Chains A and B, each alone.
Chain A
Amino acid sequence: MTEQNNAGQSRPDSATDGRNHPGLTTDQLKQAYYDMLLIRRFEEKAGQLYGMGLIGGFCHLYIGQEAVVVGLQMAQKDGDKVITSYRDHGQMLAAGMDPRGVMAELTGRATGLSHGKGGSMHMFSREKNFYGGHGIVGAQVALGIGLAFANKYRGTDEVSITYFGEGASNQGQVYESFNLAALHKLPCVFVIENNRYGMGTSVERASASKALWKNGEPWGIPGKQVDGMDVEAVNAAAKEAIAHCREGKGPYLLEMSTYRYRGHSMSDPAKYRQRSEVDEIRQKHDPIDHVRNLLKAAGVEDTDFKEMETKVKEIVADATEFAKTSPEPDPSELFTDVLVGE
């Protein structure tokens, strides 16, 4: 665990609230708490709707990993592009995409972000600079350096945040992408969300490399391992990585140590890990509880939490209702959007 970002080490104290806590102010922490809670509750609801038969097919929930995307998002600026795998609901909500549209896509309705033709794994928003949602493991890494290539080609200082799991990190195209990104100094932050299991195979059983953050070393890509359950650690590392890319120094690799509470998709035998492992992380390392404790210590009142929780609950309930009552796509949608302009 070298280079682990320990909260409190080198980051400046918050200037606004006097707490001896680096990185985020109380207001920013409240925002992080809210954003993470929205993802958590949204995903729980999605799981429930799946159980009721309202969502079909694949449904990969982000529960447990919320601090990663929220910490990254808070370090980004408008115009930075994001791309990820099929475990994408968290990225979409963090990017500010409409929860109604996301949930309605999960239920396959006309009002979904992809008009019901993409589903859980395939949603996009040009407006929010979210480029999917990709169902082929590792494909988004090569596509992600393409987003970075476009930024560089156009001469902007925008960066590409390219998420992939530790499972995808073994894909050949990831290393082709490392080479290309380093060769052309592309502004790409590679974010490995190491949730320890590629479907049911633990990282130890899949990767000969035990320090994924070092996997870019042969190409000179700086890397850092980060506690992905600590939103402040994520945010601090993200700021550093994004600054590196914006300055034209080429790509940066972040390995986020995180954990997925739920199964890979919905149908998961849960035989590949001990229940106690899940319980321990939930109880001792939950990223949302962590922020809640920080906020409590900073004097945030129960009523403030209640207010945020109520608001989240309302948004999720509204999205759910919308997703349940929206019409299915018209059959005429079958043939739309196959080709542009036809």
Chain B
Amino acid sequence: MAIDILMPALSPTMTEGKLAKWNKKEGDTVSSGEVIAEIETDKATMEVEAVDEGVLGKILIPEGTEGVAVNTPIAILVEEGEAVPEGPSAGSGEARPAAEEAPKAAAPTAVASPVATTTSEPEKDWGETSEITVREALRDAMAAEMRRDEDVFLLGEEVAQYQGAYKVSQGLLDEFGEKRVIDMPITEHGFTGMATGAAMTGLKPIVEFMTMNFSLQAIDHIINSAAKTHYMSGGQISCPMVFRGPNGAAARVGAQHSQCFASWYAHVPGLKVVAPWSAADAKGLLRAAIRDPNPVIVLENEILYGQKFPCPVDEDFILPIGKAKIERPGKDVTIVAFSISVGTAMAAAELLAEKGIDAEVINLRTIRPLDTATIVESVKKTSRLVTVEEGWPFAGIGAEIAMQVIEHAFDWLDAPPVRVAGLDVPMPFAANLEKLALPQPDWVVDAVSKIV
């Protein structure tokens, strides 16, 4: 049967091109894969290869012709001995378009911004607590999960013999050995990729970055390899892993070592992001992160490592990802914070109480997925919102929280939301300047005073 050979497209945007040359003439035998013609556009050239075999029965478009529209029949291929039709055969050959041919699915409906619809449930009472540091809580979380699951292992710089650059992994090498607590050379890009590849097979690596600043060396694997693979594989391959390390400003370490990555990572679908404040947050959230079948970023804070908080002693203690905690109930204003800024917000709430203002402080615990329901519910009660974070204000977490509140509780607001954030500058080194760049409790008090 005669087959039309059509003018091919070199790109989805090509509509026409030049038929530069015929490598075959009428009557020539053509085998599949053989180059029969060349076409050109202003930016590219392409060889047209025969897909079917046969005899080039008739050339419909002579070489040198410009402006040949894509999908125009340019020649007719016939079988050996077959008569050559006069013109293009209607219906034979390959018909164009995907879209017209494919059964059409219903048009997608408009996508609302993601918001949790559940209302807050009271947090489970885990009973007895003891005072431990955030550092110990993180170590205990890893140790507990490594005892529970052989597939969990820790790798990073100085995590084994040195016992952790910030001593977070203290004792883990002794208990679990060098197979599961693995020192890495200073090659974040390489070892993060390695860990991600191992996770693709079902292992559950915990990648420790000495600080999250160095995750920038590895951000391609975190986003392009870990976060997107489940989606790109149609659900076949997942990356059950944790990326953790101290995030944000420490003290006097300058611009390259003082930056908050909450907004960076929270931007990415396919990632979860948690940011513990207390020891209980740290232990409960890190355990949940290790068990989670998805890649989870755990944003710790160096300043908090040495701080003590009461933490449940129950061996099964764990916290859900995606649930915020009301640290301090109040009725006059909602202050939303995460990580070290929860402490700032709590201190501010004390100062506000002295002024007779009853602030509700929400500890986000998880940045993504954001517990919008808890925030919205609180704002519906207080009608005022202040956000606190150490990261930069532009496109920061405060901006997102404010927008969520505007979308879901606009009519309840009695004043515009206010953001308290780190100043919009690289972190300075001098002690006085550094202090001026980071949110202090009185900044929060001032912000609240503007709207209450």
**Which of B79-87, B130-138, B188-196, B329-337 lies at the interface?**
B188-196
B234 engages A143 (CB within 8 Å): no
A149 adjacent to chain B (CB < 8 Å):
yes
B197 engages A150 (CB within 8 Å): yes
Contact of B45 among A56, A125, A142, A269 (CB under 8 A): A269
What separation, in Å, do the CA atoms of A153 and B203 have in the docked complex?
9
Q: How big is the A interface, by class?
A: 35 or more
What separation, in Å, do the CA atoms of A255 and B229 have in the docked complex?
28
A143 engages B197 (CB within 8 Å): yes
What separation, in Å, do the CA atoms of A108 and B99 have in the docked complex?
10
B190 engages A118 (CB within 8 Å): no
Binary CB contact string for chain A from 94 to 119 against chain B (1 if under 8 A, 0 otherwise): 00000000000001110011111110
Closest-by-CB residue of B relative to A155 is B179
A222 adjacent to chain B (CB < 8 Å):
no
B170 adjacent to chain A (CB < 8 Å):
no
Known interface pairs A47-B49, A326-B102; A269-B43 also in contact (CB < 8 Å) = yes
A83 adjacent to chain B (CB < 8 Å):
yes
Known interface pairs A40-B33, A51-B9, A108-B98; A118-B153 also in contact (CB < 8 Å) = no
Known interface pairs A52-B71, A131-B237, A325-B101; A45-B198 also in contact (CB < 8 Å) = no
Closest chain-B Cβ to A9's Cβ sits at a distance in Å of 31
What separation, in Å, do the CA atoms of A266 and B193 have in the docked complex?
29
Binary CB contact string for chain A from 111 to 144 against chain B (1 if under 8 A, 0 otherwise): 0111111100011111000011111100101111
B102 engages A53 (CB within 8 Å): no
A198 adjacent to chain B (CB < 8 Å):
no
Scan residues 21-35 of chain B and give those whose CB is less than 8 A from a CB of chain A.
32-33
What separation, in Å, do the CA atoms of A143 and B229 have in the docked complex?
12
**Which of B218-226, B247-255, B256-264 lies at the interface?**
B218-226
Closest-by-CB residue of B relative to A262 is B47
What separation, in Å, do the CA atoms of A48 and B192 have in the docked complex?
39
Closest chain-B Cβ to A265's Cβ sits at a distance in Å of 9
Known interface pairs A52-B71, A139-B221, A269-B45; A114-B98 also in contact (CB < 8 Å) = no
B91 adjacent to chain A (CB < 8 Å):
no
Contact of B237 among A47, A107, A126 (CB under 8 A): A126
B10 adjacent to chain A (CB < 8 Å):
yes
A340 engages B197 (CB within 8 Å): no
Residues of A within 8 A of B14 (CB): 267
Known interface pairs A53-B70, A267-B43, A329-B105; A139-B224 also in contact (CB < 8 Å) = yes
Residues of A within 8 A of B370 (CB): none
Q: How big is the B interface, by class?
A: 35 or more
A183 engages B201 (CB within 8 Å): no
A267 engages B11 (CB within 8 Å): yes
A117 engages B104 (CB within 8 Å): no
Scan residues 7-25 of chain B and give those whose CB is less than 8 A from a CB of chain A.
8-12, 14
**Which of A173-181, A209-217, A242-250 lies at the interface?**
A173-181
A270 adjacent to chain B (CB < 8 Å):
yes
A142 engages B190 (CB within 8 Å): yes
B293 engages A118 (CB within 8 Å): no
Contact of B46 among A172, A266, A324, A338 (CB under 8 A): A266
A118 engages B105 (CB within 8 Å): no
What separation, in Å, do the CA atoms of A155 and B44 have in the docked complex?
50
B200 adjacent to chain A (CB < 8 Å):
yes
A331 engages B9 (CB within 8 Å): no
Known interface pairs A117-B234, A122-B232, A124-B233; A339-B294 also in contact (CB < 8 Å) = yes
Known interface pairs A53-B70, A177-B190; A337-B231 also in contact (CB < 8 Å) = yes
Most buried by B among A52, A56, A266: A52
Most buried by A among B199, B233, B234: B234
B107 adjacent to chain A (CB < 8 Å):
yes
B231 engages A338 (CB within 8 Å): yes
B96 adjacent to chain A (CB < 8 Å):
yes
What separation, in Å, do the CA atoms of A47 and B185 have in the docked complex?
44
Residues of A within 8 A of B196 (CB): 142-143, 146
Residues of B within 8 A of A262 (CB): 47
Closest chain-B Cβ to A281's Cβ sits at a distance in Å of 13
B6 engages A52 (CB within 8 Å): yes
B189 engages A172 (CB within 8 Å): yes
Residues of A within 8 A of B187 (CB): 176, 179-180
B270 engages A142 (CB within 8 Å): no
B197 engages A149 (CB within 8 Å): yes
Known interface pairs A131-B237, A153-B203, A324-B98; A340-B71 also in contact (CB < 8 Å) = no
What separation, in Å, do the CA atoms of A150 and B189 have in the docked complex?
18
B272 adjacent to chain A (CB < 8 Å):
yes
A13 adjacent to chain B (CB < 8 Å):
no
B431 adjacent to chain A (CB < 8 Å):
no
A1 adjacent to chain B (CB < 8 Å):
no
What separation, in Å, do the CA atoms of A340 and B204 have in the docked complex?
14
Known interface pairs A52-B8, A176-B189, A263-B46; A340-B294 also in contact (CB < 8 Å) = yes
What separation, in Å, do the CA atoms of A228 and B282 have in the docked complex?
53
A153 engages B179 (CB within 8 Å): yes
A50 engages B194 (CB within 8 Å): no
A285 adjacent to chain B (CB < 8 Å):
no
Closest chain-B Cβ to A112's Cβ sits at a distance in Å of 8
A180 engages B97 (CB within 8 Å): no
A336 adjacent to chain B (CB < 8 Å):
yes
What separation, in Å, do the CA atoms of A63 and B45 have in the docked complex?
17
What separation, in Å, do the CA atoms of A180 and B195 have in the docked complex?
11
Closest chain-B Cβ to A332's Cβ sits at a distance in Å of 8
Residues of B within 8 A of A331 (CB): 105-109
B94 engages A52 (CB within 8 Å): yes
Residues of A within 8 A of B269 (CB): 338
A8 adjacent to chain B (CB < 8 Å):
no
Closest chain-A Cβ to B95's Cβ sits at a distance in Å of 8
Residues of A within 8 A of B71 (CB): 52-53
Closest chain-B Cβ to A285's Cβ sits at a distance in Å of 15
What separation, in Å, do the CA atoms of A144 and B43 have in the docked complex?
35
What separation, in Å, do the CA atoms of A54 and B96 have in the docked complex?
7
Q: Can you report 30 residue pairs joining A to B where beta carbons are below 8 Å apart?
A: A48-B8, A48-B49, A51-B9, A52-B6, A53-B96, A56-B12, A57-B12, A108-B98, A115-B235, A126-B237, A139-B220, A142-B194, A144-B197, A146-B194, A150-B201, A172-B189, A177-B193, A180-B184, A180-B187, A180-B194, A267-B14, A268-B46, A270-B44, A328-B99, A328-B103, A330-B105, A331-B109, A337-B234, A338-B230, A338-B269
Top 9 nearest A-B pairs (CB, nearest first) are A146-B197, A142-B193, A51-B8, A176-B190, A143-B197, A331-B108, A115-B234, A114-B234, A122-B232
Give 15 A-B pairs besides A139-B221, A270-B46, A327-B103 with Cβ atoms closer than 8 angstroms: A45-B51, A51-B9, A114-B234, A114-B236, A117-B231, A131-B237, A133-B232, A146-B194, A177-B190, A177-B194, A263-B44, A266-B10, A329-B105, A331-B109, A337-B234
**Partner-A contacts on B (CB < 8 A):** 6, 8-12, 14, 32-33, 43-49, 51, 70-71, 94, 96-99, 101-109, 111, 153, 179, 184-185, 187, 189-203, 220-221, 224-225, 229-238, 240, 269-270, 272, 293-294
